[in-house]
Amino acid sequence: MKLTQADFKQRRDRLAAQLGNNSIAVIATRAEMYRNRDADYKYRADSSFYYLTGFAEPEAVAVIETFAAGEPYRYSLFCRERNRAMEIWNGYRAGLEGAVELYAADEAYTISELDEKIITKLLNKQRFYYRIGQQSEFDARVSQWMQKADAQQRRGGTAPAEMIQLDRLVDEMRLKKSAQEIELMQIASNISAEAHTRAMQTVKSNMMEYALEAELNYIFGKNGCVPSYNSIVGGGANGCILHYVENNQPLKDGDLVLIDAACEYEFYASDITRTFPVNGKFSPEQKALYNIVLDAQLAAIDATRIGNHYKYPHEVAVKILTQGLVDLGLLKGNVDELIKNEAFMQFFMHGTGHWLGMDVHDVGAYKVADEWRAYEVGMVVTVEPGLYIAPDDEKVDAKWRGIGIRIEDDIVVTENGPLVLTKNVVKTVEEIESLMAKK
């Protein structure tokens, strides 16, 4: 399943309607990045640029102009021209003809013409929307454009009177997903769930963390995907490091392994975390902590509903985690007081979720008018509580130390309640042990 040019045009239509009459919006894609010397990182277009254009090549800028009421807007694409010699080395380019025929631009120019052509487009526009602060070099170019437009006043032209942050509009558009976007995210989630299942079935004692990561990457790659983010494969105490990505230690018998890894399909991300025993059997301490996290996660998922505010699932999870820690003797005192004093942060120091979409930490404001925003249909969020008992935490009994647990799923807010995209990978103690016993 892929988005069509009709889908991208609908997005441009929606954006143009929000710009107002006699306005212009400019959005550039991301620059290529060198890995070392002559080698680049594999290119991925900027998410918001791609969201509006479907154009995945580097060195491209999209321009949307509106005019008087009732007049159609104009979509221009500045991109690389066809170049047979460069295409032999680096691959096919759409070129100017392709920009019009394949990507539905009303007009196309070479990227080298941008600084010249944009001045005429800016003149006599009331509002100028662009992504302020995204790229310092592009900010400098915009400043030069405005100076040149201002200089045209003596010839009867005027520069835009208002400069407005384009991200405010595009981020809000991206926050609520369409049915097609959710379908793409479901595909990504299914592939990622398959990868986690494979990891549970192939892990063994003394296996290297990076070897287990390779099992995940195999599933991603065979389905035409790449990781959505740097994979975390943390065995034992490494699972207590929230963003552990070295993945270079052996997995030990008796330890848990925490895997936070998922893939991106057609520019849409998934995000899954599972924690399971290397030897296929939870110890009593591991099981006790794991079930607290699972109870918190299930309750937080259930709380991800229309009308509840963004932070509410976190509050639900924190209460269950804190009560569980008291029950096990890891915290002492009144649960409400412990929450008020944030005593739980000794063991749970991050939020319970984030927006998910084209970026794994997707765009969209978490607050509106300084209040946590309410969930609406089409929002997609992760739910990922955890507990992390540091290996050197002498405030707790030694039997708990070095245990790190996180459980994460991807949730769509629907009229019928939370939809779990990542349900295809097991997560109860009994399900995990049963699956791992079959390997």
In whole angstroms, give the CA distance from residue 260 to residue 249: 16
Catalytic residue among 11, 103, 406, 410: 406
Residue 384 is among the residues annotated as catalytic for this protein: yes
Beta carbons within 8 Å of 37's beta carbon, 6+ residues apart: none
- How far, in Å, CA of 153 to CA of 122, rounded? 12
Kindly name the residue from 127, 198, 350, 401 that is annotated as catalytic: 350
Cα angle 113-163-30, degrees, rounded to a multiple of 5 = 50
The residue annotated as part of the active site, out of 244, 354, 362, 409, is: 354
Which residue among the candidates 213, 260, 264, 410 is catalytic per the annotation? Answer: 260
Query: Measured at the alpha carbon of residue 30, what is the angle toward residues 29 and 35, in degrees to the nearest 5?
Result: 155
| φ and ψ of 224, to 5 deg | 75, 25
| 260 is an active site residue | yes
Q: Of residues 255, 362, 408, 409, which has the active-site annotation?
A: 408
Half-sphere exposure of 429 (CA within 13 A, CB side): 17
Query: How far apart (Å, rounded) are the C-alpha atoms in residues 289 and 299?
Result: 16
Catalytic residue among 167, 194, 271, 410: 271
Residue 354 a catalytic site member: yes
Residue 73 in tokens: 């807007």
Q: Which is the catalytic residue, given 12, 80, 388, 409?
A: 388
Spatial distance between the Cα atoms of 371 and 437, rounded to a whole number of angstroms = 48
**In angstroms, what CA-CA distances link 135 with 110, 132, 232?**
21, 8, 29
Tell me how far apart the alpha carbons of residues 418 and 381 are, in angstroms, rounded to a whole number.
10
DSSP structure class, residue 80 = P
Q: Is 295 a catalytic residue?
A: no
* Other CB atoms within 10 Å distance of the CB of residue 360: 18
- The single residue of 14, 82, 168, 243 carrying the catalytic annotation is 243
406 counts as catalytic: yes
Annotated catalytic residue, options 361, 366, 397, 431: 361
CA pair distance 122, 110, nearest whole angstrom: 18
Is residue 314 annotated as a catalytic residue, yes or no?
no
CB of 217 closer than 8 Å to CB of 227? yes
Exposed / middle / buried, residue 70 (Cβ in 10 Å: 0-12, 13-18, 19+)? exposed
Which positions are catalytic?
Answer: 38, 243, 260, 271, 350, 354, 361, 384, 388, 406, 408
